């Protein structure tokens, strides 16, 4: 196990397998920039499955226990199930999940389960179809995503739903979303709108905090706190009293969790990032393609993580969030 300057171990690896997405969400890939003719990353720039497997093995040997495949939209990566099959065979891995917008989930859920995937996190920001379609700008209905969610649960995948809450956009959906997923006993995570990326002029005035959301929910539901299930868990979890249903909050804006962050991120083109709010990463792909040894790559990873001092959410101010160069969510994953 390796630790950083603050004693934080590397436990969780997020791997972006593509920068492409079939949504152009208002807050992630706004159509004014990511239009239908946007030039995404050429295939030769992407890590191959063999390269991802090799790096996953190295990271697991360094103490990583959990891997999540992200994007962009990871289900757009051809034969993604083959990559999952490769990764789940690595000794020492305890958990593998995937984050998706759910468009292709109904089609691929059984294949993902058969490949060894354990869980999916599905992004869904509204139940109201008109609002949902205006957010994702793709014409896909919320009902289609819900079908994928229920099918994934039916085939045996663990399912969580993530809702990004943005002031002036979808706060009216907070209670309906909570009611729906409480009824179906599917964990729901409310994510505070984060100012990640340069493309859309995000600002803190669009944030609805965990405290505000919790107050809204408390007017309708009786909630009781749930203890964290592991060190470094970012969601602050609550149970609807008298049920097995849960709701949680990702509070990277109002209540940062930098002090317990154990996540490293690997971009689709092979750069290592130590923070979602990082302004740059370290290219590891070139080392692979220059035939560097595992020992040489491990030494670089040790240096990257050992010198890690990320505390961006702790140090956040409106001024710094506007003046920092930031990485797009579609590139680094969530």
DSSP 265-304: EE-TTSEEES-TT-S--EE-HHHHHTT--HHHHHHHHHHH
Q: Is residue 16 part of an annotated ligand binding site? A: no
Q: Is 194 annotated as a binding residue?
A: yes
- H helical segments located in the chain: 49-61, 80-88, 105-115, 129-136, 142-154, 174-183, 210-218, 285-289, 294-306, 312-315, 318-323, 329-332
Determine whether the annotation assigns residue 25 to a binding site.
yes
97 is in an annotated binding site: no
Give the span between the Cα atoms of 116 and 107, in whole angstroms. Answer: 16
- pLDDT, residue 200, reads 46
Q: Widest CA span of the chain, in angstroms?
A: 59
Is 115 flagged in the annotation as binding?
no
8 Å CB contact between 193 and 208: yes
Angle of CA points 219, 222, 225, to nearest 5°: 120
Phi, psi values for residue 64, rounded to 5°: -65, 135
Is position 28 annotated in a ligand binding site?
Answer: yes
Say what the pTM is: 0.88
Closest CA to 135 of 193, 75, 216: 193
pLDDT (tens place) for every residue of the chain, 334 residues total: 899 888 889 999 999 999 888 776 655 555 555 555 555 678 899 999 999 999 999 999 999 999 999 988 999 999 999 999 999 999 999 999 999 999 999 999 999 999 999 999 999 999 999 999 999 888 899 999 999 999 999 999 999 999 999 999 999 999 999 999 999 999 999 999 876 554 445 567 888 999 999 999 999 999 999 998 876 678 899 999 999 999 999 987 777 767 788 999 999 999 999 987 777 899 999 999 999 999 999 999 999 999 887 655 555 544 444 555 555 555 566 5
Q: Is 311 assigned to a binding site?
A: no
- Is 324 annotated among the ligand-binding residues? no
Q: Which domains does the chain have, with CATH numbers?
A: 12-332 (3.20.20.70)
Position 327 scores a pLDDT of 58
pLDDT at 286: 96
**289 labeled binding residue:** no
Residue 248 assigned to a binding site: no
pLDDT at 31: 56
Nearest to 292 by CA among 17, 14, 51: 51
Exposed e or buried b per residue across 25-63, where buried means at least 16 C-beta atoms within 10 angstroms of its C-beta: bbbbbbeeebeeeeebeeeeebbebeebbbbbbbbbebb
CA separation, residue 249 to residues 46, 60, 225, 246, 259 (Å) = 32, 28, 11, 10, 17
Annotated binding-site residue? 308: no
Residue 209: what are its φ and ψ, rounded to 5°? -75, 165
pLDDT value, residue 331: 56
pLDDT of residue 290: 97
Supply angle C-alpha 179, 128, 211, rounded to 5.
50
Query: Is 312 annotated in some ligand binding site?
Result: no
Residue 21 labeled ligand binder: yes
Residue 26 assigned ligand-binding role:
no
């Amino acid at each position: 196990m390796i630790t950083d300057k603050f004693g934080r171990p590397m436990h969780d690896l997020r791997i972006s397998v593509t920068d492409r997405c079939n949504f152009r969400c208002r807050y992630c890939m706004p159509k004014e920039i990511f239009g239908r003719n946007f030039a995404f990353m050429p295939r030769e720039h992407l890590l191959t499955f063999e390269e991802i497997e090799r790096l996953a093995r190295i990271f697991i040997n360094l103490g990583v226990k959990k891997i999540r495949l992200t994007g962009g939209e990871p289900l757009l990566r051809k034969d993604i199930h083959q990559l999952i099959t490769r990764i789940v065979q690595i000794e020492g891995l305890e958990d593998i999940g995937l984050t998706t917008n759910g468009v292709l989930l109904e089609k691929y859920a059984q294949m993902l389960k058969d490949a060894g995937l354990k869980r999916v996190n599905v992004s869904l920001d509204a139940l109201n179809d008109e609002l949902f379609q205006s957010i994702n700008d793709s014409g896909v209905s919320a009902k289609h995503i819900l079908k994928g969610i229920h099918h994934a649960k039916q085939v045996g995948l663990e399912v969580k739903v993530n809702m990004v809450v943005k002031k002036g956009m979808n706060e009216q959906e907070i209670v309906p979303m909570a009611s729906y997923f409480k009824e179906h006993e599917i964990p729901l995570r409310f994510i505070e709108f984060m100012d990640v990326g340069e493309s859309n002029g995000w600002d803190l005035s669009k944030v609805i905090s965990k405290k505000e959301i919790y107050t809204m929910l408390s007017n309708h539901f009786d909630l009781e706190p749930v203890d964290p299930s592991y060190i470094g868990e970012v969601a602050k979890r609550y149970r609807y009293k008298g049920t097995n249903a849960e709701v949680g909050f990702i509070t990277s804006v109002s209540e940062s969790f930098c002090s317990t962050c154990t996540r490293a991120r690997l971009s689709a083109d092979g750069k290592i990032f130590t923070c979602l709010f990082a302004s740059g990463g370290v290219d590891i792909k070139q080392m692979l393609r220059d035939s560097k040894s595992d020992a040489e790559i491990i030494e670089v990873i040790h240096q990257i993580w050992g010198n890690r001092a990320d505390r961006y959410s702790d140090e956040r101010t409106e001024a710094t969030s506007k003046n920092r160069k930031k990485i797009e969510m579609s590139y680094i994953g969530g």
